[in-house]
Amino acid sequence: MRTFRHLELSTLRYDFPFATLQQLIDRLSQEERSQLDCYSRALYAFALLGQSRPEGLTLMEEVLDEAGDHAKSLHVFLQGLWLGQDLPHGAEHLLALSTRPPFDIGARTPSP
């Protein structure tokens, strides 16, 4: 089930129907939502961020606390912040995310 959810939500991510993406998660029972993995929750936050809804920022922070530097989730958040043009302090959040691994190329050790 998780694989199908990832495929469906990821496909919608690139079409930008934010409300549809949000509704797919909203239709889940509270128990099902509490068991979502970090990437599915990141895609839910993406739907909220893309609509410039501040609760997307709250969810993004919760997922970051749980998942840390999960690369796919970070990519989703960056895209959501970029598209959510009316988010409060959206640019600051975007810049803060861009300094985290795997994006902070200055912190990487060069290969020999």
pLDDT at 35: 92
Tell me the pTM.
Answer: 0.82
Domain assignment present for 15: yes
Domain assignment present for 108: no
Digit-by-digit pLDDT tens for the chain (112 residues) are: 766 666 666 666 667 789 999 999 999 999 999 999 999 999 999 999 999 999 999 999 999 999 888 899 999 999 999 999 999 998 999 999 988 887 766 655 555 5
**Domain boundaries, position 10:** 2-100
Q: What is the DSSP string of 12-80?
A: HHTT--HHHHHHHHHTS-HHHHHT--HHHHHHHHHHHHHTT-THHHHHHHHHHHHHSS-HHHHHHHHHH
Domain assignment present for 106: no
| CA 50 – CA 45 distance, rounded (Å) | 8
Domain assignment present for 35: yes
Number of domains in the chain: 1
Identify the DSSP state of 100: S
Domain assignment present for 33: yes
